[in-house]
A and B are shown apart, each in its own frame.
Chain A
Amino acid sequence: AQSVTQPDIHITVSEGASLELRCNYSYGATPYLFWYVQSPGQGLQLLLKYFSGDTLVQGIKGFEAEFKRSQSSFNLRKPSVHWSDAAEYFCAVGHNNAGNMLTFGGGTRLMVKP
């Protein structure tokens, strides 16, 4: 069975500081990997995805993520955080051989200090 762990429930950073959100997954093969962002009371917006190829993936809003097979990780990064980035971030894994569903982590709530 696939699983996702986001070790940090809450993170607070200052505006303009760099950000890294951690994601570790468990799956027998290389899964498809996703990061979604959710603002309060809203649905999920896809930030970026990894299916194969280059392990450094660029997404929207200046986010990037790096797939590290040896660490089973897919951490999300942003070099300079903006106040509008405050939201909840979810890492997800999936595979066509695993029921065509996404398994989500518990999320990391990002707060941005002015």
Chain B
Amino acid sequence: DTGVSQDPRHKITKRGQNVTFRCDPISEHNRLYWYRQTLGQGPEFLTYFQNEAQLEKSRLLSDRFSAERPKGSFSTLEIQRTEQGDSAMYLCASSLETLWAFFGQGTRLTVV
């Protein structure tokens, strides 16, 4: 399968713990996006990379959220000191030079 891959698919963590999610984009895609989707809502943009450069990060929800794409391939999204309000589906998408983005299956985070 050559689609966008996200790992893990599900994560349950205790409040206050740190979590990290991984996204592997479609191999030739230079753009990578992270979105968050809460129950009953549409996805909400968090951040965007073009190759290894993070070109938009003002929409990250707080300074507890950070993302990296160190070699312009896979990306990680980290949430420090998780809170119950962080429970959501975290979606990764990738594209080649356009907004025509392909989404992964998402990582569902539950903070207990």
Contacts and interface: CB of A to CB of B under 8 A. Distances in A.
Interface string A71-110: 0000000000000000000101011100111111111000
Interface stretch (B42-50, B63-71, B73-81): B42-50
Nearest to B56: A99
B36 to A, nearest CB: 11
Counting chain A residues whose Cβ lies within 8 A of the other chain, the interface size class is: 20 to 34
B99 A46 contact: no
**A interface secondary structure, majority:** strand
A106 B104 CA distance: 19
B100 A43 contact: no
B41 to A, nearest CB: 6
Query: Which has the most chain A C-beta neighbours within 10 Å: B50, B100, B102, B104?
Result: B100
Interface of B: 4, 6, 31, 33, 35, 40-45, 48, 50, 55-56, 59, 91, 93, 99-106, 108
Interface of A: 4, 32, 34, 36, 41-46, 49, 90, 92, 94-96, 99-107
